[in-house]
Amino acid sequence: MSLLRRCALACVVSLAAVAAVVAPARAQDTTVAGVRIGLVYAPGTRPGVLVLPVDGTAGDSIRAILERDFTYGDRINVITLEPSAIPQFGSGSARPNYPLFTRLGVAAILQVTPTSFGIQVTVHNAGKGVAERTKAFPLPSGTLSADWRLALHAVADEIEQWVTGVRGIAATRILYVSAGRVWQVDSDGANAIAITSSGSNAMSPVWHPKASHIAYMTMGATGQQVVIREIGGATRVLPTRSGLNMTPTFAPDGYTIVYAHGAESGTDLYATNAFGNEPARRITVGRGSDNTQPSFSPDGRRLAFTSGRSGHPEVYISDADGTNAELLTPYNFGDQSYRANPDWSPDGRLIAFEAQLAGRMQVMTIGLRDRVIKRHTSEGTNEQPSWAPDARHLVFTSNRGGTKQLWVLDVESNTVRQLTHAPAGARFGAWSPLLRAR
């Protein structure tokens, strides 16, 4: 098939069991992990965090969302206990029994108190036996609304930074295409919302680096067109030549957009001002081959893209103006040589891509420094990877569940979770930057 067509815990039942599961978290102090509140746990392990029951009508939802966000971040071991199994935490002048919590594998105790404007969060360091940090967080009105959930996700992200030294990625959303429409969904799979109308025949949506706009390809009167849509606002069609115009991506500067334009003589990458009307400039010279699917390096100086100039699709990198192009993925003879859909990680170290292996596409990564390739999937067909802001998680399209849906991959452990359950299937996932509730 041508490149163009591919483009076109269960709760713990005993205290002994909990202690056994999380025992590795109780280890010597480290200067690498827990730099924010000085937790004691070994490098390479996940600190045990217990979220205490939360009072109020929305208390159960707050606790569940925070626990799920920590679990999905893959850096924290959430200690799940039924309220009746949680040691009495103490009130007033009573001092919590911190040693008992540490015997349960708890490194940090999260105490959440509803307020008139939101919540107050106190993180207790069980090892030191102190309340390490307290902060009040405002939450918008409308419990469980999209903005309320996004604000609570941001709280989880900040707490994760306190505990692990790395900010979480819960306050993000993922774009995808289902039944020809662009949709967005929260990072935990909740609140799937259609952004474009039915019949838009959209493909390949991407986020603006400030998440203020999205861009995508759609069918128009003169062929495929690139559409730029302001979140909650107006849309504009990028002025392009008639024919094939697809796979747009924004540069980190937020002004430049690069897309693939094709005709009978092949497909090349073009760059222009995303919000202006000046003519686009050609930045690849494919000489009849197909050059598509651009992805910028975090500093905006380089591009990764798919090119068929070697006779079959491979991933190339070049300067942002198209010069100094070089083959990134190793060339192999034979029908299995198909590598495409590159996405440059936000930390600049890796490029994710899809590769054909035994007749199926699989998600791979390649290191920019050592050029070592790692395979991350094997079950079913897996393609179209897109990085999360933490450069650790990827969203990708997979048919492993029977239909094409979006799944999330932790590249360090290779564990996956299903993100979407769209009746018409989902594909072309694109992970947002960190967001802020309006």
Domain ranges of the chain: 15-164, 172-431
Average pLDDT over residues 17-45: 47
Answer yes or no: is pLDDT of 59 > 60: yes
Looking at 3.40.50.970, 3.40.50.10070, 3.30.460.10, 3.30.499.10, the CATH number of the domain 15-164 comes to 3.40.50.10070
pTM of the model: 0.89
Residue written as token pair 């905006």 = 300
Contact 284/294 with Cβ under 8 angstroms? no
Q: From 3.40.50.970, 3.40.50.1000, 2.120.10.30, 3.10.180.10, which CATH number describes the 172-431 domain?
A: 2.120.10.30
Predicted local confidence at residue 94, as pLDDT = 73
Mean pLDDT within 308-327: 94
| Least trusted range by pLDDT, from 32-41, 56-65, 276-285 | 32-41
Angle between helix 146-164 and 59-73 (nearest 10): 50
Confidence of residue 220 (pLDDT cuts 50, 70, 90): confident
Residue 326 half-sphere exposure toward CB, CA atoms < 13 A: 6
d(CA 126, CA 75): 18
